[in-house]
Chains A and B, each alone.
Chain A
Amino acid sequence: MKKTGIYIKAAILLRNGRIIKDDVVIFRSAEKGVLFLNEAYERLAVNYPRFYKMDTLSKMGTVAAAVLLKDSFDPAARQPDEAGIVLSNRNASIEADAQYWEASQEYPSPALFVYTLPNIVIGELSIRYQFKGENAFFVSEAFDAEWLHWYVTDLMTRNLLKTCMCGWLDVFDDQLDACLFLVESDTSETGSTFTAENLKSIYNKNYGK
């Protein structure tokens, strides 16, 4: 009988004008920041009615998650409360905070206000994909593979989650940096082993400018 293990089933990087899933370039554009995301949303047919209402961080999470999960995640194989999300970044919700502050000089916008917390992107993704298990958003100076590995392993070994979408989603001044992993606990022995070294190696992959 095969032993249960924790595996990275898929990974995506979104930076330097490209979206790369498992070493394959899925999308590229010369646009920057939110324009890059709007173009990716249209061309990849992500199709989510709330997209244009979102802040840049949530837009990036929506596009990145759509690419990550497509053809890699089977929602029927999991109960909603067995699937969770653990994210982190450096700049929290600074883009939305700044936009809200600017708008509030005249009239505060409720639609901007709701995005002035980084974990709102988790809410957006949880609603869309029915991930109803544990979730958390951490703010740290840099991508911390050891911490992510420890935290997600703890959730999975305690059987709180069997699927976790986790990683890094950071937006600052038109610079987009996303690295998301689909991690699952099962007996399939498919994917790469969920280790801090493998997380770090994927995050640090350099595909050139």
Chain B
Amino acid sequence: MENKQELMHRLKEQIIKQLKLNDKKPEDIGDHDPLFVEGLGLDSIDALELIVLLQQEYNIKLKNAEEGQDVFRSVSTMADYILDHQVNS
């Protein structure tokens, strides 16, 4: 299994591709940068795309929408959630 650093790098590439952030590179996104509003400036449609990304790439379904607020806080929190759910699945 890949470690958290490798997973975060892959996540950044996937986020850029899925959300069409054509002007961003993985190194532009800090591990702990907020993804929404003041950070990457993502919006509610982007949040739905991130849910699809988790499902499509990692076969993980969020249990409820409220959970998304914590999971999608940063690339680091997304990676923690994926690692946790891959171990537990």
Shortest Cβ gap from B8 to chain A (Å):
23
Number of interface residues of A (CB under 8 A): 10
Interface residues of A in 110-156 (CB under 8 A from B): 110-111, 114
Report the bound CA distance from A167 to B45 in whole Å.
29
Is the pair A52, B20 in contact by a Cβ cutoff of 8 Å?
yes
> B29 in the interface, Cβ–Cβ < 8 Å?
no
Interface residues of B in 57-71 (CB under 8 A from A): none
Q: Contact partner of A52 among B21, B45, B48, CB < 8 A?
A: B21
Residues in A whose Cβ lies below 8 Å from that of B56: 106-107
| Total contacts A-B at CB 8 Å | 26
- Map CB proximity to A onto B32-43 as digits: 1 under 8 Å, 0 otherwise: 000000000100
Is the pair A107, B55 in contact by a Cβ cutoff of 8 Å?
yes
Shortest Cβ gap from B19 to chain A (Å):
7
Residues in B whose Cβ lies below 8 Å from that of A53: 19-20
> A49 in the interface, Cβ–Cβ < 8 Å?
yes
Residues in B whose Cβ lies below 8 Å from that of A108: 52
Report the bound CA distance from A53 to B21 in whole Å.
8
- Map CB proximity to B onto A48-83 as digits: 1 under 8 Å, 0 otherwise: 010011000000000000000000000000000000
Residues of A at the B interface (CB closer than 8 Å) are 49, 52-53, 106-111, 114
In the complex, the 3 A-B pairs of residues with the closest C-beta atoms, listed nearest first: A110-B48, A52-B22, A52-B20
Q: List 26 A-B contacts (CB under 8 A).
A: A49-B23, A49-B41, A52-B20, A52-B21, A52-B22, A52-B23, A53-B19, A53-B20, A106-B56, A107-B52, A107-B55, A107-B56, A108-B52, A109-B49, A109-B52, A110-B45, A110-B48, A110-B49, A110-B52, A111-B19, A111-B20, A111-B45, A111-B46, A111-B48, A111-B49, A114-B45
Residues of B at the A interface (CB closer than 8 Å) are 19-23, 41, 45-46, 48-49, 52, 55-56
